[in-house]
């Protein structure tokens, strides 16, 4: 009963390096999300997707790119990592259809702790 799985769990990067965070869900959810969590700021939405092949910007999209080539996977990329991107990243998914269903809880992965030196 995996739910939402994020890899890796921890990563340390040097400024300017690139990397991709992987999120996989096995609940057949249409909607997927990437958040970052910083002290005192709660969860802020980076990008989200309402279905395979679609992505949209959230509140803090700058410096990140995403792709949703398969329904079950949602990738978050950092092209040139900066110390300001040091954070805990959470992926989530929820049931949805036709851009509706705003009453569904989002289900979260365990997070990825990313440090950029």
Which 24-43 positions form the footprint of another protein (CB under 8 A)?
31, 33, 40-43
Strands 87-94 and 31-38: antiparallel
Task: Decide: is 67 part of the binding site for another protein (CB under 8 A).
Answer: no
Minimum distance, C-beta of residue 15 to another protein, in the bound complex (Å): 25
How far is the C-alpha of 115 from the C-alpha of 83, rounded, in Å?
A: 7
Q: Which is nearer to another protein, 17 or 50 (CB)?
A: 50
If binding means CB under 8 A, how many residues of this protein chain bind another protein?
A: 30
The DSSP letter of residue 74 is E
* 106 near another protein (CB under 8 A): yes
Helix (H) / strand (E) element for 78: namely strand 73-78
Taking CB under 8 A as the criterion, the residue among 17, 22, 50, 71 binding another protein is 50
Tally of CB atoms within 10 A around 4: 22
Question: Of 49, 64, 76, 78, which one interacts with another protein (CB under 8 A)?
Answer: 49
Q: Where on the chain is the footprint of another protein (CB under 8 A)?
A: 31, 33, 40-45, 48-50, 56, 58, 88, 90, 92, 94, 96, 99, 101-111
């Amino acid at each position: 009963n995996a739910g939402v799985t994020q890899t890796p769990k921890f990563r340390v990067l040097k400024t300017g390096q690139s990397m991709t965070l992987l999120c996989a869900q096995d609940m057949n959810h249409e909607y997927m999300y990437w958040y970052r969590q910083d002290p005192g700021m709660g969860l802020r939405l980076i990008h989200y997707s309402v279905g395979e092949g679609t992505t949209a910007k959230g509140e803090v999209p700058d410096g990140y790119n995403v792709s949703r080539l398969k329904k079950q996977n949602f990738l978050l990329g950092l092209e040139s990592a900066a110390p300001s991107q040091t954070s805990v990243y959470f992926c989530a998914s929820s049931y949805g259809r036709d851009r509706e269903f705003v009453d569904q809880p989002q289900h979260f992965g365990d997070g990825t702790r990313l440090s950029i030196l």
